[in-house]
Structure formats: C-alpha cells, structure tokens
Amino acid sequence: MKVKKAVIAANMNKSEVPHLIEQISEYLSQKGILYSVVELREKSKKEYIDDCDLVFSLGGDGTVLYVSRILKREIPVFAVNLGRVGFITEILQSEWKEAFELFLQDRLDISRRLMISVIVKRGGEEVFACEGLNDIVISSAGISKLINFDVNVGDSKMGSFRADGIIFASPTGSTGYSAAAGGPILVPELECFIINTICPYSLSNRPVVVDSNACVSVDLPDSKNHGLILTVDGQETFSLELGDRVFYKKSSKKLSLVMSNQRLFFDVMRDKLNWSGGSNA
C-alpha cells in the first residue's frame, strides 16, 4: 500500500493521545509521508477528511464511529484502540508500528463495512440526512415511555409496533445497542441490516434481518408520539415530530477498516463477551 499523505484523527480526551501523536508524527516524517492532525474534541467543529491516502484513528470505538462519518470518500482507516471495549478497533497501542509496517507491505486485510444512510422527511421535504456506521435509533427523548410506529420494508408493511423505540443496525453495530436489546451478532462484512424493536409491548416481536438493498421506512403517525429523538451512532441527534417519515438504506460509501493480524473477529467476541465456558460465560 502506497501512502503519500496521512491524517491523524485523534480523540484529545484520551490522556495517551498527545504522546502517541508525537510517535506517529515522527515515524511518518522518517518515512517521508506527509501528514496532518485533526483534533477531535467534544465541542470542536466537524472537520471533514478527504485529501489523504490513510486515516489514523486514535481513540476507541466511538472515535472510529465519528471518523467514519467525516470521511468524504472510502479511505482506509487504521484504528488504534485506546478505549475500553474495542469491538471495532482491534490494533492495540503497543502494536501500531509493527501493524503499520505490515499494512505498507500489503500484509494486512481490509474489512469493508456497510454504512447506513438515514433521511427524515417532514411534509414531503427532507429535513435531516446523515450516515452512520453502527446504528440509527428512534426513542423517547424524555422519561422512558412507549411509542407507536409503523415499519415498512420496500413496498410491504412489516407491521405496527408499540415499544420503547426501534434500532436499525448494521453488521458492525450488531455488537452494540442492538445486541443489548436481544439482537443477533453478525459477522461484520455481511450485506444486511437488523431491524430491532426496543422492549416491545408484545412477546411475538423479534429482531428481523433484511437484505442491505432493502429500503426501510418508519412512520410516526400517532398523536401520542411527542418528544421523540433520532440518534446516529449514539453521537448525533435530531428531534422528530408527529407525521415524520424516517428512511433507511445502504450508504453509497463503506468504511475500509485495516484489520489486525493478531486477533480475528471471533477472538475479539470470545474475549469481550466471555465466551470462555464455565462460570464466567
């Protein structure tokens, strides 16, 4: 892999980040690779990334989620895990240099992850649009309460539901909120999405997996629906109103994630979810 220019996107809330930026900057300079640093802070202005060959993501899974949304095109993301969970970020801080050398030698795999495109229409007009890597959630913005909504898959009505909300998750996001709500865990490279109601008021409701080419829509017709919020990757929000229609479909862009050669997907699952058997399972 030829890298002429890199961007270091760093979560500045992590104490280890300044030193790691210094290490990577010095290394890139020695390699003759141009670089720039994008500092990600809680209230920093969103800065989109386009003109580079590679993006270093320094932080945890949340940093990767943020980076995936500010990429204007499909650029390889080299994610170094400084967080706690690390379902998405497989490369450890102690491994980054060795892993990057392997990447330059084309000896690391790239995982291409589906992203979700969401559009909200109000009175036929588009009022919100965004892309997410993990999931798009509709829920109550205030005290927990049941909401009513209709779900359509293509031209077919899937059903009318009463629940605490609904999660539309990608395979990457299947290990997040959707899993906590009883959804299936999917291999990240699969071409499909999960529709998962949150605490539905019916024992017959189950998560549904649909083809990634399906266009899914959610209608909010009930006058009791007020104070609803749409959340993208747990990081961006939009207030919904009565009569809004929310459309989900596959994004034209994917996230290209550089994989670790030290651990595979099921190694991470086994470690993080305690799939070890015995009393710790």
Does residue 81 contact residue 94 with C-beta atoms inside 8 Å? no
Backbone phi and psi for residue 148, each to the nearest 5 degrees, phi listed first: -110, 135
What is the Cα–Cα distance from 183 to 165, expressed in whole angstroms?
Answer: 14
Q: Catalytic residue, from 61, 135, 233, 244: name it.
A: 61
Active site residue 61: yes
| Strand 216-219 versus strand 228-232 pairing type | unpaired
What is the Cα–Cα distance from 143 to 146, expressed in whole angstroms?
Answer: 10
What is the Cα–Cα distance from 118 to 95, expressed in whole angstroms?
Answer: 36
Does residue 217 contact residue 248 with C-beta atoms inside 8 Å? yes
In terms of Cβ atoms closer than 10 Å to its own Cβ (0-12, 13-18, 19+), residue 204 is exposed
Helix (H, G, I), strand (E, B) or coil at 152: strand
Q: What are the catalytic residues?
A: 61
